[in-house]
Amino acid sequence: MLLAAVILSVASFREAKASEAEGAPLTIVNAQFVSVNDPSLRTLLRDLGDTIAWRHGERDVLITTANHTVVTFTVGDRRYEIGPFGAQARYAPYTKNGIPYLPLKELLATLWVAPVQSGRDLVLEPQLASIDVRSTTTGTTLVARAAVPLRPRIVQRSSTRVVYQFSGIGSAVGGTRTLNGGGIRDFVIRTTGTLATAQTFLTVDLLAGATLSQPGSDDGRDFALFVRAKSVAAVSATPQSGATQVPREAQVTGVDVIPTQESFTVAIVVSGDAAYTWHRLAAPDNRFWIDVDGAHLAVPSRDDRWNGHVTGVRVDQDTPSNVRVALSLAQPLLITVVPSGSGLRIIVANDVALNPSRSGYGSIGSIVSSAQESPPPTPAPEPTELLTPVPLGAQQFAPREYIPTNPRLIVIDPGHGGNDPGTIYRGVEEKTLTLDMALRLRSILLAHGWQVRMTRTTDTAVDPDAQTDHDELQARDDVANENGARLFIAIHVNAYGGSSIPKGTTSYYSKSDDVPLARDVEDAIAREAGTQDDGIVKSRLYVTLHALMPAVLVETAFLTNQSDFAKLESPAWRQRIAQAMADGIETYARDFPAPTPSPGG
């Protein structure tokens, strides 16, 4: 497909130099694709606080947004990832002269920037990307988001109206929305000004007696407004008028809530194709909601209260074409959205999320997301009466078999941390690399339906009170042992002070139960990550020896070897080895199902 070249300019990002930016550095790009080396793209990313990582000859291009979401595009693959979530672009990225070209529309959408035609130019304008409203009888929470700091300014204020102005951004959302409840009569979003001087206004008309507060946000890219209604009026949720509802392609035919000790899962059953978006509010609000667009709720709406980490689940037809499932949370918990064969699953782990992403999207149905590629691990089969009875004597003398109380839980242990940097070589610290690879592995495993616990998620010791190295290592095993994990994987970076020659990946193990896991992980890394295969090695390493379950300590590569160092420094390679570790774990899990308790005991 040949497309007309258009001009991409970066306008309105630099308010101080708006007039200069208007005629600023221009680059010819293809209307559908943009080169990763495109100067305008680089400028755009820099202005947004995003970074792009790509190494010559590699297929993955990684963009880390200012809110810590990693967006991964892969050459030759229409699927791309936004954090742990999959999506599909209209066109796959390709390379020309070894340089990747990314699909422009999808790239810009992930960056919350809109291409706006201006004469012959295509001008990029940061957008008010979403506005979310949650209204109850007691009040309304209104949250707007953008890729740039919003810097709201109140330009009009009375007892019945407040008008906010956001300078330098346009809006992807607009129009009037009438609430007549929760303290708000309606609100209007409109954009004025030229491209270089765009102004977006949010006008909120309040009901009598309403009061409002505007809490701060983490980084200024969220704007939140809480409106408290005067009194708790009896405004019941208006039931949807089924008679006038036009039947739609997608229907939400069921919402099942599955609370367990380890997690809280909401399974949304969807027939037909639909896109979805999700959002979450920062602590202390912590609410999470997912909108299934173009869907009709075919079951009654509900508003359940729960005791525990998840305190409420609400399902309703938010707009005529939009089903909303909203969760109230006591803490900012780790949430995974996984498209499944029957729809979507929202998995709320008991872990508190670190810098959680605030929003994401994907689709269900004919558009296949990467998360669907690997089926979620099948639950361990129920013990059946067909099991051969084991003679009592044999049972007594056989080595005691480990039975995970949570066969879907994987514990990841990023080596070192806090005061213990591990190896330091050319200013690069092992503890930083191990945490990075571990977080990437976690994202992949979560997206595949596993539960994951990390021994640490920040640069810290696992047991800050540890008196000895031993205590610290035992604390890492405790995370797995006390939670009945299926398996334990420690991630390290190798080094050798005596020579720069040693290189490659070694998977260390200690117990006979560890061997198949070490073998599968090592093999996957050798196959996918391009390091030298140094094989699996038995050793008396503390963490593998004292983990009750199958365990492996992966020495990913050598900081002290030049070619390995380059790999370790590459975010794309770290993503590759994380993917390889995940593949190895899943091969192992498939071939070695978790043992289940025998009928007798």
CB of 497 to another protein, least distance (A): 4
CB of 74 to another protein, least distance (A): 32
CB of 502 to another protein, least distance (A): 6
Cβ atoms of residues 166 and 200 within 8 Å: yes
| Residue 336 or 506 with smaller CB distance to another protein | 506
Closest CA to 503 of 513, 515, 512, 495: 495
Other beta carbons within 10 angstroms of residue 232's beta carbon come to 10
**Amino acid occupying residue 91:** Y
Active site residue 106: no
Cα-based torsion angle of the residue sequence 412, 414, 418, 421 in order, rounded to the nearest 10 degrees: 170
Q: Can you give the binding site for another protein, defined by CB under 8 A?
A: 420, 423, 468-470, 473, 492-499, 501-502, 506, 508, 537-543, 545-546, 553, 555, 558-560
| Residue 186 or 420 with smaller CB distance to another protein | 420
Whole-number Cα distances in Å, 36 to 49, 73, 104, 185:
16, 11, 11, 46
Q: Is 449 left (phi over 0), alpha (psi -120 to 50) or beta?
A: left
Supply φ then ψ for residue 403, to 5 degrees: -120, 110
Cβ atoms of residues 546 and 480 within 8 Å: no
CB of 215 to another protein, least distance (A): 45
CB of 559 to another protein, least distance (A): 8
What is the DSSP-derived secondary structure letter of residue 390?
P
Cβ atoms of residues 173 and 183 within 8 Å: no
d(CA 24, CA 141): 39
Other beta carbons within 10 angstroms of residue 66's beta carbon come to 16
CB of 527 to another protein, least distance (A): 22
| Residue 284 or 497 with smaller CB distance to another protein | 497
Helix (H, G, I), strand (E, B) or coil at 264: strand
| Residue 443 or 505 with smaller CB distance to another protein | 505
| Residue 219 or 469 with smaller CB distance to another protein | 469
| Residue 17 or 470 with smaller CB distance to another protein | 470
CB of 520 to another protein, least distance (A): 20
| Residue 470 or 590 with smaller CB distance to another protein | 470
Report the Cα–Cα distance between both ends of the chain, in Å, rounded: 65
What is the DSSP-derived secondary structure letter of residue 512?
G
Partners of 362 in beta bridges: 276
Beta-sheet pairing, 533-538 with 505-509: parallel
CB of 420 to another protein, least distance (A): 7
HSE of 389 in the Cβ direction (CA atoms, 13 Å)?
4
| Residue 48 or 551 with smaller CB distance to another protein | 551
Beta-sheet pairing, 121-135 with 113-118: antiparallel
Q: Which of 22, 106, 472, 555 is catalytic?
A: 555
Secondary structure E strands in 320-414: 322-329, 333-340, 343-352, 359-364, 409-414
Q: Residue 177: enclosing H or E segment and its boundaries?
A: strand 175-181
Partners of 199 in beta bridges: 167, 192
Residues marked as catalytic: 555
